[in-house]
Amino acid sequence: MAQQINFGSTPAEREEAFISLYKKVFPSAAKYVSKMGGSFDDAKDVFQDALVIFYERTAKAAITLQTNEKAYLLGIVKNLWAAKFRENTLYTPLDMQDDMMEEEESQPSQNKLMHLLETAGQKCMEILKAFYYDNLPANTIAALFGYSGIHSATVQKYKCMEKVRETIKEKSLAYEDFVE
């Protein structure tokens, strides 16, 4: 299904073609950018860049599309968003690096966390370690600790977590209490 794109020869025809494309494709592009963590303004920026690229490729080079124009334009949007996302993750402004280093320095103290977990009891520590640290499946944990089934193991894990939560509530602890 090859399709030749025609933007017209007059400015009014080109404007009409752009408006038509905008109405037809922008909602899908905005939905994609939003789903990928972008804002509405990001979607507008990326879509406008995609329209320019689309226009340059189709009008000046007179290419023939093998898909419909919506799919082609969305493909450009996805590639532009991926490039922008890669760029944003590769380069962190220097002023933000200081903030990131401060966050890394204020990690929870393992000693304080271990002490808190110890208040729940040795068996609870072992169960929580099996679930969260060792990432063992529930059926393995049930067999390992002698529970009758997966449900019993997950209920016991829940009870252990509740013991830890209650200790935190009783002592009115906050995140800052665990940071050295």
Cβ neighbors of 108 (< 8 A, separation 6 or more) are: 175, 178, 179
Residues 60 and 158: their CA atoms lie apart, in Å, by 64
Confidence of residue 143 (pLDDT cuts 50, 70, 90): very high
CB 72 within 8 A of CB 65: yes
Amino acid letter, 130 = A
Phi, psi (degrees; rounded to nearest 5) at 146: 80, 30
Pair of tokens at residue 94: 């220097």
Is 0.75 surpassed by the pTM of this model? no
Q: Mark 47-85 as b/e (b = at least 16 C-beta within 10 Å).
A: bebbbeebbeebeeeeeebeeebeebbbebbbebbeebe
| pLDDT given for residue 16 in this prediction | 84
Pair of tokens at residue 33: 């950018």
| Residue in the structure block whose two tokens are 């209650």 | 166
- Sequence ranges of the domains in the chain: 3-91, 108-173
Q: Which residue has the higher pLDDT, 164 or 156?
A: 156
- Stated as kind and residue range, the H or E segment containing 84 is helix 69-90
pLDDT in tens, 49-96: 988 888 887 766 655 556 678 888 888 899 998 888 776 655 555 555
Residues 77 and 50: their CA atoms lie apart, in Å, by 6
The residue-averaged pLDDT of 106-125 equals 73
- Of 1.10.260, 1.25.40, 3.30.70, 1.10.10, the CATH number of 108-173 is 1.10.10
CB 141 within 8 A of CB 133: no
| CA contacts within 13 A on the Cβ side of 74 | 15
